[in-house]
Amino acid sequence: MARGTEWCPEGWDRHTYPHGDHSHPYYIVDRSPADSPHPSVLLMHEFPGISDNLVALANVLAEDFRVVVPSIVGRDGSATPLDSMRQICVRREVHILARHGVSASVAWLREFADAHVADSSGRRYGVIGLCLTGNFALALAVDPRVAAAVVGEPAIPVRPSGLGLSPGDSASLAEHPDLRVQGYRFRYDCLSPGAKLDAAQRLLGGRMQVFTLTGPNQFGHSTLTGRWRSDAAIASTRAFLNERLAP
């Protein structure tokens, strides 16, 4: 796959979403049969950006879903932590790292999901957030069309129990009866405090199930991608999304 501004993995379709002063690339992986469209899943990448590790996860999910991958920060395919941090600061999103920060990305991602993920027929869809975007999955799940959200190793905001939600978002989630959520983190992941998923579970009650992963990678971070990924967590995520998004 080519690197650079026109990077696009094989079998993916690349598009551009303009928002304010920025244009965000986004990618669609759709292997649906012509007569039976797959339900949609919005897959949000981890820090520092879209990598080969995320491509591998998206390709697995594409066996069952139409996967939409927006580029939030970083240089797609070859993101570096320094480049991504520069973008976060330039876009005035540095407050996502603060104790109570609500990311500026949430607003455009909601608009993007409404335009390019949600089905015009009102069909339900799913959202997945990982690391930097872990709690974005909760913020986007205020949409009543979101029936399933996966929160993977949420790392921001910095406050251990912070979810990066506005009071209005918290109230909407508490009143969203059709939403179900699964959360994943490794037991000893210092980048994703267990207090975050505990706080989400208090907010959602019995509508959220938290999985604390143990085993040889329990000191790892990325639960669904890369060298630490848990095959059991990936299988559980696929089963959960299939159950929730089935017609």
CA 160 to chain centre: 19
- For the chain, the domain total comes to 1
pLDDT at 159: 83
**2 assigned to some structural domain:** no
Amino acid at 165: L
Number of neighbouring beta carbons within 10 Å of residue 14: 15
User: Is the pLDDT assigned to residue 41 strictly greater than 70?
Assistant: yes
Query: pLDDT tens digit string along 183-235?
Result: 999 999 999 999 999 999 999 999 999 999 999 999 999 999 999 999 999 99
**3 assigned to some structural domain:** no
More confident residue, 65 or 98: 65
Instruction: Name the band, by pLDDT with cuts 50, 70 and 90, for residue 94.
Output: very low
Across the range 125-140, mean pLDDT stands at 95
- Residue 33 burial (CB < 10 Å; 0-12/13-18/19+)? exposed
Q: Measured between alpha carbons, how far is 72 from 70 in angstroms, rounded to an integer?
A: 6
User: Is the pLDDT assigned to residue 38 strictly greater than 70?
Assistant: yes
Across the range 31-48, mean pLDDT stands at 93
Q: What is the CATH number of the domain that holds 104?
A: 3.40.50.1820
**8 assigned to some structural domain:** no
Query: Of the candidates 242, 109, 90, which has an alpha carbon nearest to the alpha carbon of residue 169?
Result: 109
Question: Which range marks the domain in which residue 107 is found?
Answer: 13-245
- Residue 130: what are its φ and ψ, rounded to 5°? -135, 130
Burial code (b: 16+ CB inside 10 Å, e: under 16) for 146-175 equals bbbbbbbbbbbbebeebbbbeeebbebbee
Residue with tokens 């994943």: 184
**96 assigned to some structural domain:** yes
**119 assigned to some structural domain:** yes
**235 assigned to some structural domain:** yes
**6 assigned to some structural domain:** no
User: Is the pLDDT assigned to residue 91 strictly greater than 80?
Assistant: no
Query: pLDDT tens digit string along 146-175?
Result: 999 999 999 988 788 989 898 999 999 999
Instruction: Name the band, by pLDDT with cuts 50, 70 and 90, for residue 134.
Output: very high
pLDDT at 76: 85
**214 assigned to some structural domain:** yes
The two tokens of residue 130 are 């990982």
Q: Are 201 and 183 in contact (CB under 8 A)?
A: yes
C-alpha separations of 72 from 18, 59, 132, 153 in Å:
12, 19, 10, 17
**Cβ contacts of 120 within 8 Å, gap of 6 or more:** none
Q: Measured between alpha carbons, how far is 50 from 38 in angstroms, rounded to an integer?
A: 23
User: Is the pLDDT assigned to residue 93 strictly greater than 60?
Assistant: no
User: Is the pLDDT assigned to residue 90 strictly greater than 70?
Assistant: no
Number of neighbouring beta carbons within 10 Å of residue 9: 20
Q: Are 189 and 219 in contact (CB under 8 A)?
A: yes
pLDDT at 3: 40
Which pTM was predicted? 0.91
Q: Measured between alpha carbons, how far is 237 from 149 in angstroms, rounded to an integer?
A: 10
Please, how many CA atoms are within 13 Å of residue 181, restricted to the half-sphere of its CB?
A: 32
